Amino acid sequence: MLRIKVRQSIACFQIPEIGNPILSYPLAPPSTVFGLLRYICNYAPINYENTRIAISGHYESKTRHIVTYHITGISDKGEYKSNIIPTEELYNVVHTIHIESSKDYEDAIKSNINKSTRLGRKEDLISDIDCSEVDNPLELDIDNIDYTSINIQDYLYIPFEKHKDIDALSIFRISLDSDKPSLDNGSLKMHYLRILFLKTQNYLNKMEKVLSSKDEQGRYYVFEWLNDFKT
């Protein structure tokens, strides 16, 4: 299993159903993560059917400002016109991404992680990224957790169907991954899932046991797999 930490000064993960203003998901959708993994591994067929992922993280603040998108149409005078749209952006974004896949894919991800330059839009540059191999998920008993050693201030995505009774900050129908055969045929087809977005602290309050990984400093990162894969 791998744990990837990604830091960005600025990011926007556009919610496609909303066009004006452009709003951002609070964390990168799974499809963006799979796109990153395929890119750094020379487009190896890493996908939602053979690789588990979990996404958590946080951002410092967000703001909405005006972004001018050029050449979006032609005016009555035959001149190109700009499209000015308020755009929501996240600042000082940190993602913790857990990945479980085959040894070959995990080795390729570790070897190529520094090829990654952005997560999201072309302007959403990665300022720092690191990848570490971690032990299989630890199952923590909530009653025995030391909250000072857990990422309780993070947010996380969890599957809606599994936890539909948990109160969440938001419920998203979010892109899981693209359909590769459709892309090869020149069309875009996405696989979707519903997820809950909530604070890790609130998640812990509702659970009896949780999955986590531990770093060298003894800090635990709580997560939950968003997808199952075929064996």
Tell me the pLDDT of the chain averaged across its residues.
88
Output the pTM of the full model.
0.88
**pLDDT reading at 169 higher than 80:** yes
Name the CA radius of gyration of the chain, rounded: 19
**What pLDDT digit, counting tens, does each position of 39-63 carry?**
999 989 999 999 999 999 999 998 8
**What pLDDT digit, counting tens, does each position of 183-193 carry?**
666 666 789 99
d(C-alpha 152, C-alpha 150), whole Å = 5
What is the structure's pLDDT at 231?
37
**181 contact partners, CB below 8 Å, separation of at least 6:** none
What CATH class has 2-223? alpha beta
12: left (phi over 0), alpha (psi -120 to 50) or beta: beta
Q: Regarding predicted confidence, which is higher, 91 or 188?
A: 91
**pLDDT reading at 83 higher than 80:** no
Q: Which stretches of the chain are assigned E, i.e. beta strand?
A: 2-11, 52-74, 80-100, 128-133, 138-141, 155-159, 170-178, 190-199, 209-214, 220-223
Measured CA angle at 212 (ends 99, 155), to 5 deg: 80
